[in-house]
Amino acid sequence: MVSQWIQISDRLRRLVIGLLVVAIAIVTVSCGGSGPEVTTYTPEKLAQVEIYAPGVQSLRQEFPEIARRIETQKWIDVTTFIHGPLGELRARMDRLSRQLLPQDQALAKTYADDLYNHLEILDKAATERDLATARQQYQNALEDFDSFLDLIPEAGA
């Protein structure tokens, strides 16, 4: 009987110790936090942004060319432009978004993904010679592109 009691108390002791370890881990993790959120750009981070931003901004300056090609219904030119000059857009936006503040990175990725999706639909509309869809997707892409660019800090910010 005594040996049975010792076995039970040994199991109980292990259970209590295990529960204490779990409780300590939960308290430690919940109180620890991930540290303060970065809310400003360091000079080093701004320098990185300034390396990648011009490549994306230059593609934005080319964007009105798509509108001209849509309005003149030069569908092959629309598709060629999307796959040609804008072919690097997604990669450039991804590189730039990784340089943004942590709280802006997810939003930048969303805008970049949405822009890319609009370009895919625009490409399909050009193949199908669908003027209304092409116009709408161009406008949606333009809005997402501008929203993405609004996240980029100005030099010296």
More confident residue, 15 or 71: 71
- The three-state secondary structure class of 41 is coil
Same domain, 111 and 133: yes
Q: Can you give the pLDDT at residue 154?
A: 82
Same domain, 61 and 133: yes
Mean pLDDT of 6-20: 61
| pLDDT tens sequence across 68-109 | 999 999 999 999 999 998 989 999 999 999 999 999 999 999
52: CATH: 1.20.120.290
pLDDT range class, residue 6, cuts 50, 70, 90: low
- Asked if the model's pLDDT at residue 25 lies above 60, the reply is no
Same domain, 88 and 130: yes
Same domain, 67 and 131: yes
Same domain, 23 and 57: no
- CB of 56 within 8 A of CB of 96? yes
Same domain, 144 and 96: yes
Same domain, 25 and 84: no
In a domain, 13, yes or no: yes
In a domain, 37, yes or no: no
Q: Can you give the pLDDT at residue 50?
A: 94
In a domain, 26, yes or no: yes
Which letter, b or e, does each residue of 114-124 get, where b requires 16 or more Cβ atoms within 10 Å of its Cβ?
Answer: bbbebbebbbe
pLDDT range class, residue 28, cuts 50, 70, 90: low
Per the structure, the complete domain to which residue 128 belongs is given by 43-150
In a domain, 16, yes or no: yes
Domains in the chain, number: 2
Q: Can you give the pLDDT at residue 157?
A: 46
Same domain, 27 and 71: no
Q: What is the Cα gyration radius of the chain?
A: 27
Same domain, 62 and 97: yes
From the list 152, 55, 155, the residue with the least C-alpha distance to 97 is 152
Distance CA 102, CA 110 (A): 14
Same domain, 73 and 4: no
- Asked if the model's pLDDT at residue 136 lies above 80, the reply is yes
